[in-house]
Chain A
């Protein structure tokens, strides 16, 4: 039992990190409205030729999508409030996945960097 007692304090502290401060209804509906609006903006942009053909289209779509991704992960999946180990378990593979994706796109010439090595 000594072992149990020794573990109780850190357990309680960690359990506190594990999710005492989950947001409530007021936060959830605000996030839902933001997600709805951002998706509406994305879809509208697709139908606005001036936007859709401009160079800002792809970066703006990726930014809007990233904001939605982060909002769901931080607030609905409670990663903002949960223990940092959970954050590491998610962000670690996510970074590896993103780097793999970018690496493959470079490898197959879907992305390129202009190095300016002329002459």
Chain B
């Protein structure tokens, strides 16, 4: 044993899971430090993508445009404002509520050993239920995004059409890819839960997945306001 690690039971004495993790001299799980560092780096990635979108906003020479209709000068064809706020609002609600389901999944894993007397306790204490809800909401969000992208392509906006298309598809595409990774991660946790049951000792693993999922959610909060709601 080195000076920089602690035996897991010492550090896990507060009820935090230790499923294989190492602890620093601060008593913090290395995996949590890693995920927070990763999230910090992701902040910078998304800041660069959002900056690019905002810098190019309003600089497209030809349409379609996000909030204003556009008439093709040669053919006279009119393209309506392309962003569909009602659909995106619905997908935003879905993603926000998936974060709520995710914290309940984590709480269910952390409190697995507590007795469950009432039906409410059983529902709140079911990690499988809340992981399923989170996964399905994540899939639903991806479905909304696929619907939006295909509608845009049908209406004549692709990643190569103009500056708006390039920056929009890059930004929201990167975010969608992050959601897809998160959904795969959550399904893997669900598979473990079905195989052997997630225990309080697995709480840190679930917590790390939850942190990633919430981060994807907060990024969407920013994107939704800056890209969709502010003209």
Contacts and interface: CB of A to CB of B under 8 A. Distances in A.
Nearest to A27: B103
Interface in A49-91: 52, 57-58, 61-62, 64-65, 68-69, 72-73, 76-77, 83, 85-86, 89-90
A61 B225 contact: yes
B132 interface: no
B41 A105 contact: no
Interface string A2-29: 0110011011111110111010110011
Given A42-B229, A89-B40, A12 B27 contact: yes
Interface residues of B, number: 63
Interface in B215-231: 215, 217-218, 221-222, 224-226, 229-231
A115 B39 CA distance: 37
A43 B26 contact: no
Interface of A: 1, 3-4, 7-8, 10-16, 18-20, 22, 24-25, 28-29, 31-32, 35-36, 39, 42-43, 45-46, 52, 57-58, 61-62, 64-65, 68-69, 72-73, 76-77, 83, 85-86, 89-90, 92-94, 96-98, 100-101, 104-105, 108, 110
Main secondary structure of the interface of A (DSSP, over half): helix
